[in-house]
Amino acid sequence: MERVYPINVESIEWPTYQMYQSLFYGVCSQLDSRVNTGILHPAIAHIKPVTGRIDVVSAVIDPTRIVASDDVIRWGRSHALRPLFPWEYYTFIAQYVEKMRDVRTVCLGFQYRKRGSLFFTRTKYFVPHAYQIGQDLCLDSAEYEHLWLNGTHFLFTSY
């Protein structure tokens, strides 16, 4: 099940926490760029970003089972699709935030690194996903390599 949404990307700057706050009722602190460092997914790290019109594909990989992040990336490659850059994701949600109601929408193109405290040095990675609680639209994060519920929508565009 796939749907295509046209967007016009005007900037290639990382969206800020404050920009996300203006769109969503709740925004996870993992997405706060003052604390965390954003990292592009290896599937798009070598691609030169561009501005202009692109089509965003929202796809459910397998509605009958839980899927892993790696499975999603492989599915995209097999369909000549790549994950979105963070600014493409922000442009998409800014334009289509109302279409996210009642679906979990995940962007695997980038992640945030949570640095350890003074006592822990391990690094955790999180990916952003939008969802709804009641009437409130929220933006949260889940650990990278997470297993995603069946019915989750993943965002892609062509290479």
Per-residue model confidence (pLDDT) at position 78: 96
From residue 2, give the alpha-carbon distance in Å to each of 9, 56, 100, 136, 158: 21, 10, 14, 25, 13
Residue 121 pLDDT greater than 60, yes or no = no
Cα(112)–Cα(50) distance, integer angstroms: 22
Separation in Å, CA 128 to CA 49, 78, 120:
20, 23, 23
- How high is the mean pLDDT of the chain? 87
CB atoms within 10 A of CB 38: 14
- What is the residue extent of each domain of the chain? 2-158
At 116, is the pLDDT very low, low, confident or very high (cuts 50, 70, 90)? Answer: low
Helix runs in 13-52, H state only: 17-23
pTM score over 0.95? no
Higher pLDDT, 75 or 127: 75
User: Does residue 52 carry a pLDDT above 70?
Assistant: yes
